[in-house]
Structure 1
């Protein structure tokens, strides 16, 4: 596989795993995530699954005001781990790409057209559009 693709896949995979950890989607990708991270035998996969579970619990326990930092740190950690796994065994990229597609609603790291991702933390609002967007209403304080 192309090294540039693998770097992008690791980044997309890290984002997908962190995103899934914060939702009910986690149950559907947990075992695949453990296979991707661990490789090796059943004991390695069980250890990876345990680490992922503890990491998810820790992430969910982080107070709202500290979530952006916790998410960024976890994404960085997972990105490094995934890059190392892909460098050691590029074939895990197939399963990682499938995880990304499942979490991302069908678009992969090199999917067609533009790709948008938004993450809401702490009750913020996100507006996304494929073209122009106009938001009006409400009153401004001057």
Structure 2
């Protein structure tokens, strides 16, 4: 799954439990209006429904349900992206301008995306890490 989709789906569901819920909803609905306007009202209603599930999961300390809901929205966003890869720019914009600013620092860290790419030729070695890395060679 595309890293931007993973981050956006998680951020969307996380934002549902914050005071910025309205702007998160509006951002997601605006994306659907742009790419699939016939589905925008349905998506808006579904977002309201999912928000209630997220709030209930938070009250119950049910992180698994919240993660499953994020996964469902990741799949939906991935479907949009597969149909039109150029939407990555719009999804990134929604993530950067609408969703991420509404989150507390801990949540922002959790939804961050990381893409590492490397290429080695011949006998070269590549070492990559998303955080700490220690290498001991002989």
For normalisation by structure 2, the TM-score amounts to 0.64
Residue 72 of structure 2 aligns with which residue? Answer: 77
Q: In the alignment, which residue of structure 1 is the partner of 2:28?
A: 33
Residue 118 (structure 1) shift: 4.2
Residue 117 of structure 1 corresponds to 109
Q: CA RMSD in A?
A: 2.5
* Unpaired segments ≥5 residues, structure 2: 103-107, 112-138
Q: Which runs of 4+ in 1 moved over 4 A?
A: none
Q: Which residue of 2 aligns with 1:47?
A: 42
Deviation at 1:79, TM superposition (A): 1.2
Give secondary structure in 2 for the equivalent of 1:62: helix
Q: 1:22 aligns with which of 7, 10, 17?
A: 17
What CA deviation, in whole Å up to 9, does each residue of 1:46-90 have, x standing for no partner? 111111111111211236344201111011111111111101022
Structure-2 residue corresponding to 1:104: 100
- The 1-side partners of 2:26 and 2:10 are apart by 17
Higher relative CO (CA 8 A, sep ≥ 6), structure 1 or 2?
2
TM (norm. structure 1) is 0.62
Higher helix share: 2
The question of whether the paired residues in 1 share the 8 Å contact of 2:16 and 2:24 is answered with: no
